[in-house]
Amino acid sequence: MTGQGLQLLKLMYLKLAWRNLWRNPKRSLITISAIVFAVFAAILMQSLNRGSHEIMVDNMVRFHTGYVQLQDYRYDEEASLDNAFLLDEALLREIREAHPRIGTLIPRIETFMLAGNDHATRGALVLGIEPEQEHAFNGLKDLLIEGRFFEQGEQMAVISEGLARRLQLRTGDTILLLGQGRFGMSANALYEISGIVQHPLRDLNNQMVYLPLAEAQFLLSAEEHVTALLIEMDADRHKDAVAAALNSRLSEADLIAYTWPEMIPELLQLLEFDLAGAYFLGAVLYLVIGFGFFGTILTMTLERMREFGMLLSVGMKRGRLALVVFWETLMLSIIGVLSGIGVSWLLLLYLHYNPIQLTGDVAEAIIEMGWEAVLPVSFAADQFYMQGVIVFGIAMVVFLFPLIKIFRLNILDASRT
């Protein structure tokens, strides 16, 4: 048979499968509706779960760890200013040349100190930053609720709303910082408060004090030294490649690059455990839908045993008959999956622009943690295409029944049914 003849034969099989599918439109529509519901429900559950996870990870990455963070190799075991490292132009040039995906470099110097005023003291996390680079990375200045952010070179501080409330401080007041600098040097100073920020991470909102980087280095006797250098990049998926390139290039500099999952593995484990619940519910849902799908194919197959016997008796090969039934099964799956993805994508798009507002105690708890009281959604690509993969797998398992029936079919017995 020529190539054109084969193409015509395949097209004929497709048309035959399509017509067979709509012999009983009610049964086909019920099966398609079940697949649509399963795909829709699975995507919606995963999207709502992942949406909240993405906000948590985004806040931790932007305000705490960065996608990749460069430290002295001893700092992870002993988070001390004694393990800060010298950040000069030569090192910055080496870092920028390590990988093309490396973007903005955000230097920080971090330590714990006592913060106080005339009548109270509290423990505080003091962070020396370059305000413009921090704002470009995490929008820090947008968190201001009072006053303004200092400029580099000013001897001023910006504190978090929770710390300001605990110490009863406002902009224009003076805050005392008391602690220990590098190699045991005394570190204490008074700073005018130029602004107050409401931090999205509750723990940090209760203890943050921001200082200009140069001022913090001077206060802590750590001129030109930083405790961490955050690496910004255009996508999270490049973090492992960037960290590997930095570790290879800086192997002799006593520095090590960590990705954010390496720095906060507890958060990653918590998110994976939480997502496992959604996967389990999705598996149960697909198991139920799989039995419904199997019931449809079972009924279609048993009803057509006489038809199969007649087709085989007039010379149709078993393999080609199985191919027609395969196309029927696959068409049901494709129509259901595409319809389910389309419906869920439209709903998620609506929820993205009109998010579900939380109320009551749940809303208060979310706001207390520093997040907006809404249910965010995720548009991660894999949660869409994985539904097609799962339904295709179910269809292949279901197809085994008509396949076995066709290849074991006795033509004479089938003709008598």
pLDDT in tens, 79-125: 888 889 988 888 888 888 888 888 888 999 999 999 988 888 889 99
* Three-class secondary structure of residue 408 per DSSP: helix
Q: Are residues 121 and 199 in the same domain?
A: yes
What local confidence, expressed as pLDDT, does residue 6 receive? 57
Q: Which domain holds residue 409?
A: 12-59+267-416
- The answer to whether residue 26 scores a pLDDT higher than 80 is yes
What local confidence, expressed as pLDDT, does residue 373 receive? 64
Q: Are residues 177 and 46 in the same domain?
A: no
Rounded CA gap, 285 and 230, in Å?
Answer: 42
Q: Are residues 33 and 76 in the same domain?
A: no
Q: Are residues 109 and 205 in the same domain?
A: yes
What local confidence, expressed as pLDDT, does residue 215 receive? 92
Q: What does pLDDT average to over the chain?
A: 83
> For 126-140, what is the mean pLDDT?
88
Residue 317 lies in a domain: yes
**pLDDT tens for each residue of 220-239:** 998 889 999 998 887 778 88
E strands, 240-383, in order = 255-259, 356-357, 374-375
Residue 251 lies in a domain: no
Residue 262 lies in a domain: no
**pLDDT tens for each residue of 283-319:** 887 887 788 778 878 887 888 788 788 878 877 788 8
Q: Are residues 282 and 406 in the same domain?
A: yes
Q: Are residues 104 and 223 in the same domain?
A: yes
**pLDDT tens for each residue of 154-183:** 899 999 998 999 998 999 999 999 998 888
Statement: the pTM of the whole predicted model exceeds 0.75: no
**pLDDT tens for each residue of 40-66:** 888 888 888 888 777 777 777 877 788
Residue 378 lies in a domain: yes
Number of compact structural domains in the chain: 2
Least Cα distance to 294 among 282, 306, 302 occurs for 302
